[in-house]
Structure 1
């Protein structure tokens, strides 16, 4: 008797609630969500905070730069002889400048919320965690929850300040770079532990407000990744402004009192201040995602590994922004989101983030750079020359009273190709983009002689490029 074949059931097509769900509404999450929505995909975002914007809008980039701007304008006013007719100096407190920062944050949140509304992206508020690789649970503070499904899920949860376990961050005089925005008193003396980008920026802010600042650096120089001359310039400027920098120091313990904090260092030094700001590293926000449910594992700093398309080891899970680590810049996160969205739509994305990402450090004065520094070029044995322009020689800087600073151009001796640009001074993060645009030119367009052969408005800070180019070319052996 012949055997009959069993009929095979046709596979059932799974219908997901969304084509994509993005966890987090910072720059990376926003960049991904907007690009997917514009391609007619059904998109939802999950934000654990009451409003969108992520750490960039609420605790990091926007508020710290708004604080810095207020302090910088105060310093300009108090040091400009045109306005300083009397010896009475104007003064602001930290709570004063927080009011301005809050206004900027509110404007940014309203703007970004309108983006989601305009693109018909659903916003859900709550804590997201994985059930499986297509399902997320959104939990509310009262314990209630709802589950959502999507074909693709993007992790854009950002990062948070690292908190040493032995330090009591519940104490009213101990802060990190998030909680410092809740400071409601006016400290006369602050210790900042960690002299990276965040530590140096807040050192500028508090010193500009007139507070005594002890900046504790666990390394041997400030911002070791920057050009050595620029790092030295910042160190000198900090020293000249009264900031006490303590290099190669490690924390032993923190002693808290009702009216002060006493810092004990491994070297035996002790420091007393009104409060302490910890700014020594960050941790990826992955610990509450229940990653084990999908077989995904973060590293010791809570960061996720991704490929060139920002896909994790799970085929339908992507990650962008600070949660993947370097370069941890808002500007880069937007581009990562755009590239991830293209990869989700088409399987891969041929585009990549530019190799020379500009860096802006909003100290007072600012630092900004793009490309290689002198140490890197020397180590690589690349023959280069240096062109410099001092801001104090520029008419626009003299008019504006922003004469502290300089522009440095590094270029190849033979090809004249620009290899790196480093700027220290007011508006450095804006000035750097002029040089970046030329560096990105191809087919011989990247050439320092461009700055000799073009015409700049006069007087402008852009003139620094012509001055630096002439200075550098005059150094070449004829």
Structure 2
């Protein structure tokens, strides 16, 4: 059976290696009866998408959320950061409009208005999610939840809930199925404690009332690169501290090189092979000390040094839910944990830190638990994007990973500067790259350029459906269009 063949809950392929223990004589894969009671802890993408699926399948669903529906993805991460980035893109395009013969005045940024809009959109999206769930009959409870050990003779589990402003877990719920979707939080360093005034995590930036004069961004992964790009686009002086030889170390090398070159051309200072030892607030700014003894002075500092899963105080060990060395919840490809009818989805699992993956894990969990057919999670077919300017999007196997693993692949790449539509839009940075097997099956792809997060979709379909480069190139494209380059690159691999 291939990774894309549907499986039912009874299928042996539903469990990935290593096999997960079934507890208390119950079969963790067996579907439950109609009208099952489902308890979901966490209201981010994994939680609310799971609640939507379960409610539509006739389950009685209760969702417990601490902060607000949408979780970090909607309230402090994806929605607000991408809203800020969209604003920065408009500012960047306006400042560069003279290349098209458009005279523009000096761009002025009102951070109070910018961040006010960011917060409003996040709250609006959260409210829309609540309305949608309540219309489906989902019971939403504000509070903290934890699992109680053991199950009853019908395989049901008890969840304890502490309501807002209460320390004690006084409310108890019973459920046939439990989904853990508690997300993750910004990692904090003891030597650079965020204060929300001068030193920030990415969740704290949306209360700024003035554009930072000089923002020091520590961390050159996706989050660090995105915020560095956004604030440079808004007009702030930016210094990016990278502990690696290049920024975006987890992305395609050619893509990372373009982003780094654009950053430098736009005036960003990049400190490579430099690790920040500490960040300290001063009377008029912040001081960041590097491992080579140098000190960088700025007005503000963003610590973008990773995330930690929110898996503490959930009663996991007592309930038989195993975690990894990094405290992530162990799950298989259908989102099962090691405990009977307890599933998990999203950043708390450490599978891929993407809202789209969390949502799909949540859906898969409910399809599996409630007896529907499904496709197990296939991480190799998940598209991902970096919302820098220009954007980077990728799917499937990377060229570097394929070469390192000794796979026999063929690679073709074309710069967007050759594309007629790109020329019209004054786009001179970016490319399309396709990786195929020797037999022509599309194994991966990379797009760098404006709206790369949209342009990656045909390559995602190709990877997911195991299309050949000939099948991909035979589909018509609009002339002139950026997507035409995707077809052209595919023809190069005929």
Q: Give the aligned partner of residue 343 of structure 2.
A: 318
Q: Give the aligned partner of residue 32 of structure 2.
A: none
Q: Give the aligned partner of residue 32 of structure 1.
A: 50
Q: Once the 2 structures are TM-superposed, how far is the Cα of residue 185 of structure 1 from its aligned partner?
A: 2.6
Aligned length: 450
2:457 pairs with 1:433: yes
Q: Of 117, 122, 146, which residue of structure 1 is paired with 2:139?
A: 122
Give the distance between the partners of 1:339 and 1:451, measured in 2 at CA: 28
Give the distance between the partners of 2:278 and 2:407, measured in 1 at CA: 45
Q: When the two structures are superposed, what TM-score results if normalisation uses the length of structure 1?
A: 0.88
Q: Once the 2 structures are TM-superposed, how far is the Cα of residue 91 of structure 1 from its aligned partner?
A: 2.2
Q: Give the aligned partner of residue 202 of structure 2.
A: 177
2:359 pairs with 1:334: yes
For the Cα contact (< 8 Å) 1:249–1:267, is it kept in 2?
yes
Q: Give the aligned partner of residue 253 of structure 1.
A: 278
Report the CA distance shift for 1:306/1:471 in structure 2 as closer, same or farther (over 3 A): closer
Q: Once the 2 structures are TM-superposed, how far is the Cα of residue 305 of structure 1 from its aligned partner?
A: 1.0
Q: What is the SS of the residue equivalent to 1:410?
A: strand
Give the distance between the partners of 1:288 and 1:182, measured in 2 at CA: 29
Q: What is the SS of the residue equivalent to 1:45?
A: strand
Give the distance between the partners of 1:146 and 1:382, measured in 2 at CA: 55
| Cα deviation 1:135-165 (Å, max 9, x = unaligned) | 2222322446422222222110100100112
Q: Give the aligned partner of residue 399 of structure 2.
A: 374
For the Cα contact (< 8 Å) 1:130–1:290, is it kept in 2?
yes
Q: Give the aligned partner of residue 423 of structure 1.
A: 447
Give the distance between the partners of 2:176 and 2:473, measured in 1 at CA: 54
Residues 206-215 or 371-380, more deviating: 371-380
For the Cα contact (< 8 Å) 2:119–2:206, is it kept in 1?
no
Q: Give the aligned partner of residue 200 of structure 1.
A: 225
Q: How does 1:437-452 map to 2 (within 5 A)?
A: 437-442=461-466, 446-452=467-473
Report the CA distance shift for 1:471/1:272 in structure 2 as closer, same or farther (over 3 A): same
Q: Give the aligned partner of residue 461 of structure 1.
A: 482
Q: Once the 2 structures are TM-superposed, how far is the Cα of residue 203 of structure 1 from its aligned partner?
A: 0.4
Give the distance between the partners of 2:456 and 2:296, measured in 1 at CA: 38
Q: Give the aligned partner of residue 150 of structure 1.
A: 175
Give the distance between the partners of 1:239 and 1:400, measured in 2 at CA: 22
Report the CA distance shift for 1:303/1:435 in structure 2 as closer, same or farther (over 3 A): same
Report the CA distance shift for 1:248/1:148 in structure 2 as closer, same or farther (over 3 A): same
Structure 2: any 5+ residue segments left out of the alignment? 1-34, 150-156
Q: Once the 2 structures are TM-superposed, how far is the Cα of residue 62 of structure 1 from its aligned partner?
A: 1.0
2:334 pairs with 1:309: yes
User: RMSD over aligned Cα, in angstroms?
Assistant: 2.2
Give the distance between the partners of 1:255 and 1:465, measured in 2 at CA: 47
Give the distance between the partners of 1:57 and 1:254, measured in 2 at CA: 28
Give the distance between the partners of 1:109 and 1:259, measured in 2 at CA: 36
Q: Give the aligned partner of residue 126 of structure 2.
A: 109
Q: When the two structures are superposed, what TM-score results if normalisation uses the length of structure 2?
A: 0.86
Q: Once the 2 structures are TM-superposed, how far is the Cα of residue 350 of structure 1 from its aligned partner?
A: 5.1
